[in-house]
Structure 1
Amino acid sequence: MNEEQRLQGQQVKDTTPSDKKSEKDYSKYFQSVYVAPSLKDAKKRGKEEIKYFKDFNIPEEYMGMGNGKKFYIRTYGCQMNEHDTEVMAGIFMALGYEPSETTEDSDVILLNTCAIRENAENKVFGEIGHLKSLKQERPDLLVGVCGCMSQEESVVNRILSKHQHVDMIFGTHNIHRLPQILKEAYMSKAMVVEVWSKEGDVIENLPKVRRGNIKAWVNIMYGCDKFCTYCIVPYTRGKERSRRPDEIIQEVRMLAAHGYQEITLLGQNVNAYGKDFDDINYGLGDLMDELRKIDIPRIRFTTSHPRDFDDHLIEVLANKGNLVEHIHLPVQSGSTDVLKIMARKYTREQFLELVRKIKAAIPDVALTTDIIVGYPNETEEQFEETLSLYREVGFEAAYTFIYSPREGTPAAKMNDNVPMEVKKERLQRLNTVVNEMSAEALKKYKDRVVEVLVEGESKNNPDVLAGYTRRSKLVNFKAPKTAIGKIVKVKITDVKTWSLNGEMIEELETAEVK
């Protein structure tokens, strides 16, 4: 990739082609705006220096830009996207904007997008279409698309050609540039596109508006270097780059001081944390060992990769304390042959050995997973291996998906030779096992007393409160609203497939919870 291709983004001005141009021609016309994800180029990455910035500051010229204006962010996808939304909301409010609950009374609307599944992209394009009439009614409204979809060449080209009411497009690496992007969008009569093909820098002390004051997400690293053949993340999020330990520890201590009861450490491949450090030998196990000394009741992490789940991390997690007994461990398939096609770089046997180690160290651990069915060339026998592995491990829950190709990934070039009706039938059979195993895992909670972090009212009944156990089991129970935000003891009275019902018997002082 030459330097001309390494565009850090540029403004699209008077370059709109005529309506007679085909979409294919249109894509070529805007080729200079964005560099397509390339497996060959991406695997060569790493030579670019990742810069660390200790402090984020908004230039004086942008202060007050949002006075009297409101913003609205709709978030799709994973917890990382949710956390990015928290950061963007923090920047908006630092600029003087106020949050809005609806699109109708907003001055800026952002769609923070997900590229993992085709269905997620379809939802976004549907919403972009719905916003066109709102933009026509209110020409001063700014509409923006950001997040992982913005890092895909085909998405950028589609927006440029078919959705010209969008005012700005920016990617995952340049969220900190939101003030500058907004300024450009206000001043320009054409769409502003700033999608960086360079790797993102690590910028500390970004403002955040956290959702609630009970649970918090803490980003510890960005990107992924695994290049599973089905996954777009290495292209949309860039290479693995870790925050420094002292910055993370300081952030967690601050959250503890503000009364947060639970934090989740985030990373696309969270247990690869620290592998990119060249000055210290420090990994996720070391970080967790330090964080467990902080006075905060619960600490989780997601999402981990089996390849990077080392013995030291298992040893630290076995100490428990505020480190919970729940691990999300995506396996994706139970067949070694399919795992090889997926480029997961472990076998069925290696995964089962990892599970054995974890269970030996943490006998009461709850394991959950992700599984894809109907991968190219998956046979009936290979699918049966997934079912048998699920039972053998004893997973207690799973996110299950039908394979769908993502443009720009190696799998998209494979012959998708599993008919859709077969994919759907396999998903149904897998979900039957998932439901059965979940119900079986919850049976053991009947008549037991569990500790529940109360998050708020139940979605289905405002008279019922809801929260989660250390092992991430949903519990619904009646209790006074004063219990919200606290860890309480609940006796389980009824067991369902995916949740538990109970009666609160005691409020706990969170400082005493072990």
Structure 2
Amino acid sequence: MLMAMRYHIWTEGCQMNEADSAKLAAGLARLGYQEASRPEEADLAVVNTCVVRQKAEDRAISYLGYLRHLKEKRNPGMRIAVMGCLVGPRVDDLKARLPFVDIWARPQDFDAILRELVPENDLGGEFWPETFPEPRGPTAYVPVVHGCNKFCTYCIVPYRRGRERSRTIEDVRREVAYLCGRGVREVTLLGQTVEAYGKDLPDRPDLGDLMAAIHDTPGLLRIRFLTSYPKDMTEHIVRSVAELPKVCEYFNIPVQAGDNEVLARMRRGYTVEEYLEWVDRIRELVPGCAITTDVIVGFCGETEKQFQHTLDLLERVRFDKVHVAAYSPRPGTIAWRQMEDDVPHHEKMRRLHAVEAVQERIASEINAALVGTVQEVLVEGERGGKPFGRTRSNKLVHFPGEARPGELVQVRVTRASAWSLQGELVAAAAPAGS
């Protein structure tokens, strides 16, 4: 009996990459491939890459080196495919650098990989049925707008993922219904700038319209969205969060810097004052919401005083979580071409650790205030014999007791740290599938 071909996908980077990998896996399953838990067992090894930071690119190149060793020493029949943001318009340079790679695919170009595996069907033409990813738990990412039109000076994404392209509401609705029919209870709507959704569609629906359209999907209990671009946030979107019961009170709004001169060099398109106006308005319309952000330290020309303005912003806003990164030049970006990377590495690291220290204190204080409260938790799985899940504000909660993935339960918070909560089960709020 013939053995089924096996694949393994290694994914680096953002939630969009995770969603892309899941969709490719569904396409491979349609072709009869089975998933291998390790690359050593695979006939096809796929590397889904990220180049937003140098470290992410380095990890992908290192992993490709390991796959080359596997292919040359142990499995000469293995095919290696590379997809994601490493694959830019000058793919010939990559082919020369990495000649052992068999297949190259630009972001979202899943068919480039599938075509290489099955060039034609029995009728002599290509046929790719509509493919939705198979869920691996009660939560799922659903890309709704691809690409980015912003061209921030430090960012490579627009050059690799292209201009903003929205899916239709009906297309998204079909995927959400498919996922919920297979056990998903929470969907996160994804976009590099998710509030740009619909601007390129004929009727110009916005993210609020999309959330309303999927809100009553059978089985769906929660809706989230990310990542937000401050200038694209609208009153209608914020009011949709406030008024639609299934939409979680959670906003991820990258600020990147707390100084107006730095923001201008980044070409972010807003000032600190404008950002703060939106934060205040969001908290007015959605009381108790969680707001998280991204920060880049050590960007070109950032002085100590300008960095202190970023620390001041953290104290002013009191974010629930901050993802901080040291600036690393990305070839092809405006900053790489036109600006000097003049902040020393050791100073970037000092500033990064300073942000982490301030944010750890703030997050500890925010989470400590939740001790004694009862939180709605969507159970996602089990670790160390204890269920875990997330609150509507995206806080990770561990608790003892009986609870299955996909259930909504009530948990009283008993302990808190900057990173997670501990609690005790109070009652089940809604069973899986309700």
TM-score, structure 2 normalization: 0.93
Q: Give the share of equivalent positions with the same residue, in percent.
A: 38
CA 1:511–1:456 in 2, change beyond 3 Å: closer, same or farther?
closer
Which residue of structure 2 lines up, in the alignment, with residue 168 of structure 1? 103
Which residue of structure 2 lines up, in the alignment, with residue 294 of structure 1? 217
Distance 1:160 1:220 in 2: 31
Distance 1:93 1:512 in 2: 25
| Conserved? CA contact 2:262–2:299, under 8 Å | yes
State the AA in 1 paired with 2:38.
T
Distance 1:494 1:173 in 2: 42
Q: Give the alignment partner of residue 231 of structure 1, picking from 136, 150, 155.
A: 155
CA 1:435–1:167 in 2, change beyond 3 Å: closer, same or farther?
same
Distance 2:309 2:432 in 1: 45
CA 1:257–1:444 in 2, change beyond 3 Å: closer, same or farther?
same
How far did residue 320 of structure 1 move? 4.2
Query: Is residue 253 of structure 2 the alignment partner of residue 253 of structure 1?
Result: no
| Conserved? CA contact 1:297–1:510, under 8 Å | no
Distance 2:35 2:51 in 1: 25
Post-superposition Cα deviations, 1:280-302, rounded to whole Å, max 9, x if no partner, equal 13111221233334342110001
Which residue of structure 2 lines up, in the alignment, with residue 269 of structure 1? 193
Q: Secondary structure at the match of 1:456?
A: strand
Distance 1:253 1:140 in 2: 39
Distance 2:405 2:114 in 1: 36
State the AA in 2 paired with 1:284.
L
| Conserved? CA contact 1:402–1:423, under 8 Å | yes
Distance 1:241 1:129 in 2: 34
State the AA in 2 paired with 1:256.
C
Distance 1:244 1:261 in 2: 22
Q: Give the alignment partner of residue 87 of structure 1, picking from 23, 40, 60.
A: 23
Q: Give the alignment partner of residue 147 of structure 1, picking from 84, 91, 96.
A: 84
Which residue of structure 2 lines up, in the alignment, with residue 6 of structure 1? none
How far did residue 253 of structure 1 move? 3.0
How far did residue 511 of structure 1 move? 7.9
Distance 2:432 2:40 in 1: 43
- Structure 1 unaligned regions, length at least 5: 1-65, 185-202
Q: Give the alignment partner of residue 206 of structure 1, picking from 125, 131, 137.
A: 131
Distance 1:248 1:512 in 2: 20
TM-score, structure 1 normalization: 0.79
Matches within 5 A, 1:81-480: 81-136=17-72, 137-151=74-88, 153=90, 157=93, 159-183=94-118, 205-212=130-137, 214-277=138-201, 279-295=202-218, 296-413=220-337, 414-458=339-383, 462-480=384-402
How far did residue 207 of structure 1 move? 3.8
Distance 1:67 1:90 in 2: 19
State the AA in 1 paired with 2:205.
Y
How far did residue 248 of structure 1 move? 1.4
What is the total number of aligned residue pairs between the two structures?
A: 422
How far did residue 152 of structure 1 move? 5.7
State the AA in 1 paired with 2:96.
S
Distance 1:160 1:244 in 2: 35
CA 1:69–1:341 in 2, change beyond 3 Å: closer, same or farther?
same
Distance 2:8 2:31 in 1: 14
State the AA in 2 paired with 1:288.
M
Distance 1:369 1:424 in 2: 19
Distance 2:258 2:115 in 1: 47
| Conserved? CA contact 1:274–1:284, under 8 Å | yes
Distance 1:363 1:258 in 2: 33
Post-superposition Cα deviations, 1:383-415, rounded to whole Å, max 9, x if no partner, equal 111111111112110110000000010111211
| Conserved? CA contact 1:86–1:211, under 8 Å | no
State the AA in 1 paired with 2:393.
R
Which residue of structure 2 lines up, in the alignment, with residue 57 of structure 1? none
| Conserved? CA contact 2:212–2:244, under 8 Å | no
Larger Rg: 1
Q: Secondary structure at the match of 2:415?
A: strand
How far did residue 454 of structure 1 move? 1.1
How far did residue 435 of structure 1 move? 0.5
Post-superposition Cα deviations, 1:160-205, rounded to whole Å, max 9, x if no partner, equal 3343222122211421232212357xxxxxxxxxxxxxxxxxx993
Post-superposition Cα deviations, 1:9-60, rounded to whole Å, max 9, x if no partner, equal xxxxxxxxxxxxxxxxxxxxxxxxxxxxxxxxxxxxxxxxxxxxxxxxxxxx
| Conserved? CA contact 2:7–2:35, under 8 Å | yes
